[in-house]
Every structure is written in structure tokens, then in C-alpha cells.
Amino acid sequence: MLDTLSTQRTYALIGHGGCGKTSIAEMMLFSAGAINRLGKIEEGATALDYEPEEIKRRGSTQPGFASFKWNKNQHFLVDAPGDSNFNGDISYVLSAVDAVVFVIDAVDGVKPLTRRLWKEVEARGLPAMFCVTKMDRDRADFDMAVAGIKNLLGVKPFLLQTPIGQKENFKGVVDALEEKAWLFDGKGGAKEAPVPDDMAGDIDTLRETMVEDVAVIDEALMERYLDEGSLPAEDLARAARQGVAGGSLYPVLAVSGLMNMGAKNILDAVQKYFPSPLEGARELEDVKGAKRKVAETEPFVGFVVKTLFDPFAGQLSIVRVKTGTLNPDSGLINATRDAKERVGQLLLPMGKETLPIKESVGPGAIVAIPKLKETATGDTLCDEKSPFVLPKPALPNTMITYALAPQEKGDEDKVYQAMSKLLDEDVTLKLGRSEETGDSLLSGMGQSHIENAVEKAKRRFKVGILLKAPTIPYREAIKGKAEVQGRHKKQTGGRGQFGDCWVRIEPLPRGSGYEFVDAIVGGAIPRQYIPAVDKGIQESAVRGVLAGYPVVDFKATVFDGSYHNVDSSEMAFKVAGSLAFKKACELAKLVLLEPIAQMTISVPDEFMGDIIGDLSSRRGKVLGSDSTGGMTDITANVPMSEVQEYARALSSMTGGQGAFVMVFDHYEESPPPVTDKVVAEYKKEREKE
């Protein structure tokens, strides 16, 4: 076993994009001696952001994994992306850790995405501490950040540290619980110092409040506090740890990741207050409801958190050991896919580097296993004799879809194959083909997500890929009712073709789909030809009449017709059905339906007016709004054609402080200008053909 499990810690750094998580991770790794130089994001030199696309964007696009020692204790760290384009799999990250260091920007405070991420942490019941970073920056405001934690996240902060100075004067912190001050040297270190005189009164008041918060956790401790008026430091520390693990205390620290101020304080607090793997989830439950204890002695169960690509080792499966012991050179079963796997090496991840280990690992460990043949992200690996399938965490719906096209004609299959290889690494990407247009469609969490995936595919697989906005999935619908004859007669010498049918076409309520009724009596059309009429109508409906989009929500009734003993055939009646449908559409009046999305947009209150005005300009209908703690959630129905690139527009309007979710809601008739434009574009494309 790598280390004593009681002192092992497995945790994630979580926070909105640009809040400073990777800089904090970098200084923690540097202070722990895991890396020998302090890399900067601006220079593309951090240990955990190593993909070319991450260096280019100066931000994480996938979780970064690190294993290191702090004071001889093993730590497993996950640096989760904060950009909403790249953190769709945050539920997978949270399922792999026992606690969370939640990072808050001292300049920007709590953002809409911060709230969404915090809800994910709360839903899993994970212990957490808050780390307010960028304390050295202009406009840094510790009190504002703490107020956001309290008012916007609904958390009572436990002010473990109070900053000494802010902005350019930030130089240390005071630990109110221990009544100690720490002055930073700017090199990752800190030396103990007396509490500044001008802070002594405030610290005394704060400590009284903190002692009361801690004492509430333990009734016996509270009684001693009421009797004696004070408590020993070791009792306070024990109760505080109990409070953090139980989710009633959330310590707050103050640091500067870029200036390397506070790494030791974070690492010490993680070691002191976070639970070990054996103190976290005590029991696992599989998809069938079976239970298994978390212990070294139990049969092995591991969850595949992420799949990464290594240029030398190939595919790496990042596995969190949930229970039991994992040994190198052992046989396992992928219980999700009922497939056998052979584990060769075990590797400890450190960004793009990996360190082979020969010893076994137990609960809480996050290791990389190379070259598993049947295993993908979200799968469960376990002991061959004790199958156990963990439920996969829920993933959000994709937000945007783009069509893929090859730069070189004829490379369509190469493009599709290249993108499909990325699906193992990124479970939030979806790849498919459009039955209507034949396009390869790539869906993801946002425009940057899609663009990043395409850049990666181009680089790795040397294939030219073009991105184009996908065709909006309009639909066509019949407004009136019509009875028409579809007659197909052709004589070319020898056996001819003859099919004749009378069809009634009428609209159905929206969302009803297609209905076919056989009302033939007296054998006007032989039974074997009636399905051909149905097929002809359906095939024409899929191709559309007005603008090339499927016709939906209608009823077709075939009620009369005639046939020829020699010349009639299934093909002839199929053509007759198609002709009847097209005639009916001309008489019954076709309309264009456009897809409507329901959006929930979260913005600071001051942007509410701008957002509502912008939605109106996009033909949106605001359904309601709800304001809480300075943030407003606006719900609206908006045509999908108006919000294909909404993410960038929202970021521009709110200075990056807005967030939104969007799902398809319904179809409704498009206004004449939209219909005219779509029909004109369709006719123009037909003329080119």
C-alpha cells in the first residue's frame, strides 16, 4: 500500500473559469516539491494544463490529475476546468474525490457558474473549504467574496483565516482559531508572527464566534465551553474537523496563487480538516441496489473517471479506487461491459507525466492504467469473482451542434472516424449523422468546446475538418384539408406502370406525428398495394415540399382508387401516393415550423434589462424571472435560429458573468419573413444542383 490510508487525501479544485484554480494547483505542487519550478498560465508552462489547446486558450479544457506527498502524506489532486464549455463532466470529477477546495476570485467574487458548480458539490454532500485567491490584485475584496459565499451560495463561512492587508498590501493571514499570524515570503513559505495590533480586537471577536460554531457540533464540548468559557486548541481542532466532514463547517482561506502566497496553509488545512478515503463514503451501492463497504479488505471496485491520450503510452484510463486493493499485473473485469481486462502497469499521474509504481493501491487512490482494450470513461472495473457496477453520474444535455465537413472532398469517413476517437476522452461530446442532410453532427457544451475538439482531432489525426453551422431543424406542417387524386400511368413498350389512389390529407394537433388510415372498400385498390401508397406518402413527407424539411403532424387517408391487372405494381402505387401527397400540400397550404428552445439565463441583477431587451430582439418570449441575492434567473422561449451563438453574445453583454442552459421545448409556426427567407435559400440551393 502506498501509504497509511488514514492520512491520505483525495480532493478536487473547483471554481468558475479564470478564478485561479490552476495557479493554486501549481503553487501547491511546487510547495510540496512535486515540481521544481513554478509555471505560469500566461507562459503556457503549468504542470496540469499541458495540451496544446489548453496552452493556446490559457485555460483548462480537461481535468488535470496530480499525485504528490505533503509531509509524507499522500495527496491525490484533481484540477477541474471552470469554463462551462469544458466542465460538463464535473459530476464524474466529483464522484472521484472525497472533498473539494472551492476557489473564489477575490476580484470577481461569486459568479452564476460558481453557483451552478456549488449546487453540484452540495448535491453530492462533499466536505468543502473555500479558498479566496488573487488577494494581491487591484480591486481584491475579501469581504465581498465572503459575502458572496454567504448570500449567493447560502453557506455560513467559517473564517479560518483573515487577510493581513489586501491588493498590493496583502502580506499574510491570521488564523483566528489558533490565534496565530502567518507572513508570506513570496516563495511559497510563511513564517509565524504575532497578530497585528490593529487586528487584535476584530480577531478576538471573530474567534469567539468561531469557537461557538465549533462547540455547537459536540454537545459535551458546548457544555464545557459554557462552564469554562474557553476550550483547548486540540479539542477545537478535533470538533472543527468533525464539522467540516459533516458539512456544517466550511473553512475560508485567503491566498494568492500567482504570487505563491498560501500554498502551505491550503495543504495543512486539507491535511487537518478533510476526511480520509475511509472516513468519506463508508458504503457503495451498485445499479441493482447491492451494497459494498469501503475497505482495503473488500473485493476491488474502481471507477473510470476519465480517458486520456498519451503520445507514448497510448490510451490511459484514469481510475479512482473506490474500495478494495488494486495490484499491478492483475486480471479484472469491466463489469459495465462484461469484458475481461488485464492490468499491466499502474501509473501515478502528474499532469502529462506519469510515474510507474510497483506497490498496490487502496481506496482513494487515483491511478492511470494504460492500454485497457474494452474500457471507456464511466465504466466500473472490479474483481473478476465479485462483479459490481457503479451507476454512471448524470451528464447535462449538449448545448450546441455544428456540422462537420472535410477540407478534401471524399474525406467524410476520415472526419467521422477522427472525431469518434475523441468520444472516449470526452463523454460530453456527441457525434451523429443527420438523416435529413447527411451531415456529420458534433454536439457539445458550447462553441469553444466544439472548436477545441476539432482542433484536437486535426492535430492528432492529420485530417482537415471544416465547421459549419448545422441546418436548423425546421419542420413543415399542413394547415388545411384536401382530397386529391394521385395517378401514375406510364407506357413505354411492354409492361407499363399504373397506380391510382384518392387520398385525404388533414392536419393533426402539434406533436401528434403521422397517421395513415386505410379506408378502401370493395377492393378498389388491392390490399398488397395499400402499404406502397403509405410508403410513397411518408417518403415525400420526409423530403418536404415547401423548403425541403419533413412534413409532420398530419393524417393521410386513402379512400378510393383503381388498378390495372397487368400494369399495377407496388412501385406504381408508391409513386401515386407521392404525387397525391404533393398535390394535397399545395391545396391544403403548408407552413414552416421553427424549433423553440427554453432558456434559463443567470445574470447579475444589473444586467437584467439588457438581457431581456436582447431576448426581445431575438423574438424571444420572457416567461418569468427570479431574483435571489443579487442574481436573476430569466426563463424565456426563443427560436433556436436566433441563439446558435448565444454563449459569446451573453459573455459580451455581461463581461463573462452570465451563464445559461438551453433545451428544446416545442415547434411553432414561423413568421412570414422567416419563412420567406428559408424558402428562398432552399430554392437557391436547388437551382445550384
- Above pLDDT 70, what percent of the chain? 98
**Residue 689 confidence class, pLDDT cut points 50, 70, 90:** low
**pLDDT (0 to 100) of residue 435:** 66
The answer to whether the beta carbons of residues 64 and 75 sit under 8 Å apart is no
Q: What are phi and psi of 332, to 5 degrees?
A: -130, 175
**Inter-residue contact 472 to 547 (CB < 8 Å):** no
CATH-assigned architecture of domain 292-382? Beta Barrel (2.40)
Residue 581 dihedral angles phi and psi, to the nearest 5°: -65, -45
- pLDDT (tens digit, 9 = 90+) per residue, 455-511? 988 888 888 888 887 778 899 999 999 999 999 998 776 778 999 999 999 999 988
pLDDT of residue 50: 82
pLDDT band at 60 (very low <50, low <70, confident <90, very high): confident
Q: What is the chain's Cα-based Rg?
A: 31
Q: Does 280 or 275 have the greater pLDDT score?
A: 275
Under DSSP, the state recorded for 568 is B
CATH of domain 593-674: 3.30.70.240
Judged against a pLDDT cut of 90, whether residue 517 lies above it is answered with: yes
Mean pLDDT of 71-76: 94
| Structure confidence at residue 475 (pLDDT) | 93
pLDDT at 1 over 60: no
Q: What are the φ and ψ backbone dihedral angles of 533, each rounded to 5 degrees? A: -60, -45
| CATH topology match: 400-468 vs 593-674 | yes
Long-range contacts of 276-281 (CB under 8 A, 24+ apart): 276/5, 276/6, 276/7, 276/8, 276/9, 276/98, 276/364, 277/5, 277/8, 277/10, 277/98, 277/362, 277/363, 277/364, 278/5, 278/6, 278/363, 278/364, 279/98, 279/245, 280/98, 280/99, 280/364, 281/98
What does the pLDDT look like over 533-546, one tens digit per residue? 999 999 999 989 99
Report, as an integer, the average pLDDT of 602-624.
93
Q: Which CATH number fits domain 475-588: 3.30.1360.120, 3.30.230.10, 3.10.20.90, 3.40.50.2300?
A: 3.30.230.10
Compute the mean pLDDT over every residue in the chain, rounded to the nearest whole number: 89
**Pairwise CA distance, residues 442 & 44, whole Å:** 28
Q: How confident is the model at residue 436 (pLDDT cuts 50, 70, 90)?
A: low
Q: Tell me the β-bridge partners of 497.
A: 490
The predicted structure's pLDDT at residue 219 = 80
From residue 290, alpha-carbon distances to 293, 361, 655 in Å are 10, 24, 48
pLDDT at 671: 95
For residues 485-524, one letter each, b for 16 or more C-beta atoms within 10 angstroms of the residue's C-beta and e for the rest, the string is bbbbeeeeeeeebbbbbbbbbbbeeeeeebebeeebeeeb
Domains of the chain, residue spans:
5-195+250-273, 292-382, 400-468, 475-588, 593-674
Architecture of domain 5-195+250-273: 3-Layer(aba) Sandwich (3.40)
Select the CATH number that applies to the domain covering 400-468 from these four: 1.20.120.350, 3.30.70.870, 3.30.200.20, 3.40.50.10860: 3.30.70.870
Q: What is the tens place of the pLDDT at every residue in 215-258? A: 888 888 888 877 777 777 788 888 888 899 888 899 999 999 88
Q: How many CB atoms lie within 10 A of CB 389?
A: 18
Taken in order 392, 396, 397, 403, the sign of the CA dihedral is negative
| Parallel/antiparallel/unpaired status of strands 250-254 and 157-158 | parallel
Question: In sequence order, what are the residues at sequence separation of 6 or more whose Cβ sits closer than 8 angstroms to the Cβ of residue 678?
Answer: 474, 547, 592, 670
- The pLDDT assigned to 437 comes to 61
- When pLDDT is cut at 50, 70 and 90, the band that residue 260 belongs to is confident
Please give the model's pTM, rounded to 2 decimal places: 0.79
Q: Where are the beta strands (DSSP E) in 262-345?
A: 283-285, 291-293, 301-310, 314-323, 330-334, 339-343
